[in-house]
Structure 1
Amino acid sequence: MKELIPFLFRRNNKPIDGKLREKLSVFLFCLFFSIIMWGLTKLSHEYDVTYTYRILPTGVTNDMVLVSQPDSILSVSIRGSGVELYRRLFSSRMRILPVSLKGMRVRPKDNRVIGILRSSALRSLLNADLPGGAVITGIEPDTLRFVFEPSYSKRVPIRPRLKLHFTPQFQLYDSVQLDPDTVTVSGLRDIIDTIALVYTAQKSFRDLNGDVTARLKLVPPSTFPPVHFSTDSITVRLKVEKFTEAQINLPVRMDAGEHEVSYRLFPENVRVTCRVSMRDYAKLDPSQFAAVVYYKDIQNNQSNRISVEIISKPDYVRIIRVEPDKVEYLIMK
């Protein structure tokens, strides 16, 4: 040891000779072995420690909502020995203790219900979680209290959060289909009355060129106490088709209502450009369209031009533009 200590404080960079290296190795081995033996000796003795548990209530009936849990932390005094006892003590993670509230004693108070559960009833649950040989010497608090209010439910529409990116010429053929399109939301009435829509998790689809079916999670609102859904996810269906543009020449007529009017329009026809899916292109027919101008719009019109409106078209068609979108008129006396 007399030769080792000066060596540890030397500032030169001379290499360690073999004899000194051997002494250092023996010293470190003995030190490590002594620490291990000391630790094992200490751990073989019995000690008193305290574990903390966070209470997780389960088995709450559907007609009630847990609104308050004054006693949510349980402190358990334990006597025992061994490595596992201390490993848990120094763990940064608080342990969770699921506790069933079925059969708990309750009593009404105003518009609420108070539940009472003796902590001693949890001994079997706690013993199953403790290291072998550990003994419970105390539990605080000795009584757990739970506060409930009546549950209220209603059906709420679902709104999907989608980002759709299509391959060129492709787009939705029909509206987005949801199954189901509503969900039953349950919780405190004051909270449920504020919920008008339930949203899905956001989902992006890229390069769409065909039908898609996906499962999306519902996102509960951030409330306390939390609300409950009758289902946690829905099915979303997207019908995607290839589209093209079509042009149709339509005659324009004047809707005079109750008036009898002789008129001329210039031009008498307009060209309608519309978007239609390839699957529906063959059944496209001009007779399915109607273009009109309204006589009533002339009365407040400062010019001799009047807007053309498409009042009839197939559901599978989307109007892109009408050329011209205004026509000249002549009212003949």
Structure 2
Amino acid sequence: MRLDLKSLKGRKNEGERTFSPEHRRKRTTQVVTFLFFVFLSAIFWFIQSLQMRFPYVLHIPITYDSIPPEVGLESHLPEFIEVSLEDEGNHILEYSIRGVNPITLHLKQHKGVNQGFSLTAAALTQEVRKRLSSSARITTISPASIEVSAYHRARKVVPIVVGQLPLVTQGYSLGEVELTPSEVTIFASAKLLDSIRFIRTAPFEEQILETTTTTKVSLLLPEGVYASTNIVQAHLPVEQLTEQTITLPITVKDAPSGYELRPLPSSITLHLTLPRSRYGEVRADLFEVSVNYPREDTHSTDDGQRELPLQVTKKPSWVHLIRLNPDRVQYVIEERRPSKPWM
């Protein structure tokens, strides 16, 4: 068997010519030319389609005058007008890209009394026509008209109460929060206002406080209630804590007539945690530690000693923590005998 080497060599040269640079340039030119004509055809199709008519749904936004909080509305105000229409493609493209100007409605008044918002079907159709091309054909308008009556809400001034507070870094305390304003005027039906005594603040955006902070916080308004303001300013004073000790006598409560309970010991040491700025305000008359007179002898320890628990019955609100040393005391009950009159 003989191999045709000349034939194999010819095929090899033919393959090299197929993938030569000149051949690749020719193929690239053909592809680019093809894509150009495809793109040109798409442009002609697009231009032709712009002259055709298509159905379209257009949403025209509605803007309203600022409604005072004392004015209530009988029903919901629509946010937009839905217009079903048919128009040429170029106008529909303009609607979808640029949109249309909103329809503005003003709060109508009669002799100083708010009447509400009103727009008849004819007036609404005219407003819609102003925003469309002359070639547009309107199919439907929804809603066909706008008629929302207004009424006067009752008002009431209530205090603002601080709600959930943020946490404070360990070793620091949060002082009294100052709200500005501290009161707010609310508007609602008279029946609803009768049940409201205060308005609470919403949770603060700050999670943990490290220094004194002044921030804004929203108000939590019940459904159907409107306010003269929805946001107030809050001043959150953060202060470092310190410790102090004070010794007090123990007070006995509810001792029956003719008996006296003597606590052992008769005084107690209080370990206080308080803001640094209050350190000089600590006085003995601001605190009280007491025991209750036992009605039954049920306070004996395992070794038979009688003890009573101590209770802090009076302290300033700015004291954060009190530790008693000791927290229980032994006691002795003595009977008081009335003195005999002199003969």
Question: How does the TM-score come out when normalised to structure 1?
Answer: 0.71
Partners of 1:211 and 1:228 lie apart in 2 by 31
SS at match of 2:108: coil
Aligned mate of 2:37, from 20, 25, 30: 30
Number of the residue aligned with 1:216? 217
The 1:203–1:26 alpha-carbon spacing in structure 2 relative to 1, beyond 3 Å, is: same
Q: Gaps (5+ residues) in structure 1?
A: 1-13, 106-112
Number of the residue aligned with 1:250? 248
Number of the residue aligned with 1:302? 298
SS at match of 1:265: strand
Number of the residue aligned with 1:332? 334
Are 2:107 and 1:102 aligned?
yes
Amino acid of the residue matched to residue 171 of structure 1?
S
Query: Is this contact kept in 2: 1:250–1:270, CA < 8 A?
Result: yes
Number of the residue aligned with 2:165? 162
1:143-185 residue CA offsets vs partner (Å, 9 max, x unmatched): 333255553444454443332231x32112x222222234333
1:305-333 residue CA offsets vs partner (Å, 9 max, x unmatched): 23333344455434422122222221223
Number of the residue aligned with 1:317? 319
The 1:187–1:317 alpha-carbon spacing in structure 2 relative to 1, beyond 3 Å, is: closer
Partners of 1:151 and 1:94 lie apart in 2 by 37
Rg (Cα) greater in structure: 2
Note the 1:236-247 alignment, pairs <5 A: 236-247=234-245
Greater share of strand: 1
Query: Is this contact kept in 1: 2:244–2:272, CA < 8 A?
Result: yes
Query: Is this contact kept in 1: 2:288–2:312, CA < 8 A?
Result: yes
SS at match of 1:17: helix
Greater share of helix: 2
SS at match of 1:162: coil
- Percent of residue pairs identical: 21
Note the 1:51-66 alignment, pairs <5 A: 51-53=58-60, 55=62, 57-58=64-65, 60=67, 62-66=69-73
Amino acid of the residue matched to residue 17 of structure 1?
R
Query: Is this contact kept in 2: 1:291–1:312, CA < 8 A?
Result: yes
Partners of 2:294 and 2:259 lie apart in 1 by 12
Question: Bigger CA drift: 269-278 or 186-195?
Answer: 186-195
TM-superposed CA distance for 1:203, in Å, is: 1.9
1:265-319 residue CA offsets vs partner (Å, 9 max, x unmatched): 211221211112222324434454443334xx32245233233333444554344
Partners of 1:169 and 1:62 lie apart in 2 by 44
Amino acid of the residue matched to residue 257 of structure 2?
H
Query: Is this contact kept in 2: 1:162–1:203, CA < 8 A?
Result: no
TM-superposed CA distance for 1:135, in Å, is: 5.7
TM-superposed CA distance for 1:191, in Å, is: 6.2
SS at match of 2:59: strand
Partners of 1:129 and 1:277 lie apart in 2 by 66
Partners of 2:73 and 2:285 lie apart in 1 by 63
TM-superposed CA distance for 1:249, in Å, is: 2.3
SS at match of 1:279: helix
Question: Would you say how many aligned residue pairs link Structure 1 and Structure 2?
Answer: 301
SS at match of 1:88: helix
Q: Gaps (5+ residues) in structure 2?
A: 1-18, 300-305, 336-343
Partners of 2:221 and 2:287 lie apart in 1 by 45
The 1:330–1:193 alpha-carbon spacing in structure 2 relative to 1, beyond 3 Å, is: same
